[in-house]
Amino acid sequence: FGSSAPSAHWSVRPSILRAMASRISAMPFLTDKSNPVGYVVQGAYEFGVDSRRLIQRCTKPDAKEFKKIAVACAIGFAIMGFIGYTVKLVFIPINNIIVGGS
């Protein structure tokens, strides 16, 4: 996306983290969960930490695993489509009997 960052991974420079930490420590209500603003800020911070941990631990699936997932999804789509088609096919005559019975 046109990024001129020297590294290929998603990292924040330590100097930026220190600057952000000093700003947050200057405003203690941002870290107090009993304060509504602090509750939202701490929730967002914890979400960010958990998300970063998840992304760092995840790995891309290999070809075999990807094919297995794709086949399972395709079978699921086919089953759901068949169920939807069957329900529609069964309820068309029932609906005609109920509505067109006059």
Q: Tens digit of pLDDT for each residue in 39-93?
A: 888 888 899 999 999 999 999 899 999 999 999 999 999 999 999 999 999 998 8
Q: Give the whole-angstrom CA distance, residue 39 versus residue 50.
A: 16
> Is this structure's pTM higher than 0.85?
no
Q: Give the whole-angstrom CA distance, residue 20 versus residue 27.
A: 11
CB atoms within 10 A of CB 38: 18
10 versus 64: which is more confidently predicted? 64
